[in-house]
A and B are shown apart, each in its own frame.
Chain A
Amino acid sequence: MLMRKKILIALTFLTFAFTFAVPTADAKGGEYKSVVKHLKTKYQAKKVKIPFMWLARFAVSVVRPAGVKSFSVTLFEDLKFSRETLDEEMQAAMRNSFSADWSPILRVRSRNGEQVYMYMREAGKSVKLAVVTIDKKQAAVIRATFSPDKLAEFINNPKIFGISLDDNKQQATDKISERKENVVMEEKNEEQKKDN
């Protein structure tokens, strides 16, 4: 009996560990790590801790809002770079980090130190998106995997855990339930009147 209990506990732990491990491995691809490493080493950037990030990532991997399967966000501050060479260095770093499967979609470069790089690639039925933004002394590296089909479904019917995010639909649902309640109340009142 005790053995069974132990196995059950172990299995529960294993299931939890697996649930956490899968999105982490999926989200932190080689290219993501490579860009993060470049920012850390080349510009001596300091990583900013985001509280409850693990919880947000776990929630997204379970709920999958708007078709988002997994995501990673890493924030940096105190970047030390030369404005003249930043874009060139970043372009080279991005080219070295991302394989030919990735397509560079967007690049914005400003002389005052604002840079945006966006890459995208297909992965089966999913799409992987990577964004690197540098704003003066701060930087963010974002990576997300989402399903375009699920995104379309979400646009059609924006629901998370069965709760509609569409104001119009929500209002319509509220009105229907309100009407139903009114009908029930009226029926009850009529029954009471008859009884009296």
Chain B
Amino acid sequence: MKLFNHSLKIVLPLLLLLLAITANAQDARLRFERLNALENKAEEVVEVNIDGKLLELAKRVMVKVDDPNSKKIGQAISGLKGIYVRVYNFEKENEYNVADVDEIRLQLQSPGWEKLVNVRSKKDNQKIDVFTMFTGDVMSGVAVVVSESKSIAVINVIGPIDIDLLAEMSGKLNIPKIEIEKDIKAEKPKN
């Protein structure tokens, strides 16, 4: 009995720790607390939080509208749980602490996140990172981190996203057109 109690004391915390790690790994929601430090330095701040109720509302309206495109958008966002956006614009270059943004990028190094796009440009010191999280075959989250010398933007989408459907909807209903450059050489007809 004593041994059982002792084992329980060791196993239980381990189980709890494992549960916490798994839960954390599967959660696509980013923690923005560190970005709060940028609030006072930024010239302009934009904060968007669209979750639960508002998404349900948007779905309800989209599905009821007699327009095939609206219905498709409603379908595309049907599984979404939240959209969170933070934008910080600064007056001067490099006014913010790079460590604050890197902390967000560090969160995206945790298990579950996969890097999809990585752009580094010397122009305006631009850094673009797009990460995705999959639960099985279903995409359960997207994170976009864009930092430039005078601005920072973080977008976090939580829930399954139908990328094919979104690509199909590009250029319609104010969704930005996704232009995919085709390989010119490949398209050249053979002589």
Contacts and interface: CB of A to CB of B under 8 A. Distances in A.
Interface of A: 87, 103-111, 120-122, 127, 148-149, 151-153, 155-156
B124 interface: no
B54 A103 contact: yes
B67 to A, nearest CB: 8
Chain B interface SS verdict (over half): mixed
Nearest to B45: A109
B185 interface: no
The 4 nearest A-B residue pairs measured at CB: A152-B64, A107-B47, A109-B45, A156-B66
B46 A108 contact: yes
A106 B48 CA distance: 5
Interface in B38-65: 39, 42-54, 57, 60-61, 64-65
18 contacts: A87-B39, A103-B49, A103-B53, A105-B54, A107-B46, A107-B47, A108-B46, A108-B47, A109-B39, A109-B44, A109-B45, A111-B91, A127-B57, A149-B60, A149-B64, A151-B61, A152-B60, A156-B66
Interface of B: 39, 42-54, 57, 60-61, 64-66, 91
Overall SS of chain A's interface: strand
Nearest to B64: A152
Contacts of A148: 57, 60-61
A110 B90 CA distance: 10
A90 to B, nearest CB: 12
Nearest to A117: B47
Contacts of B53: 103, 120-122
A105 B47 CA distance: 8
B42 to A, nearest CB: 8
A110 B44 CA distance: 4
B61 A105 contact: no
A158 B113 CA distance: 45
B44 A105 contact: no
Contacts of B64: 149, 152-153, 156
Nearest to B51: A103
A142 B71 CA distance: 30
Contacts of A107: 45-47
A155 to B, nearest CB: 5
Contacts of B39: 87, 109
Nearest to A121: B53
Given A111-B43, A152-B65, A156-B65, A105 B60 contact: no
Contact of A104 (B46, B49, B61): B49
Contacts of B57: 122, 127, 148
Nearest to A67: B61
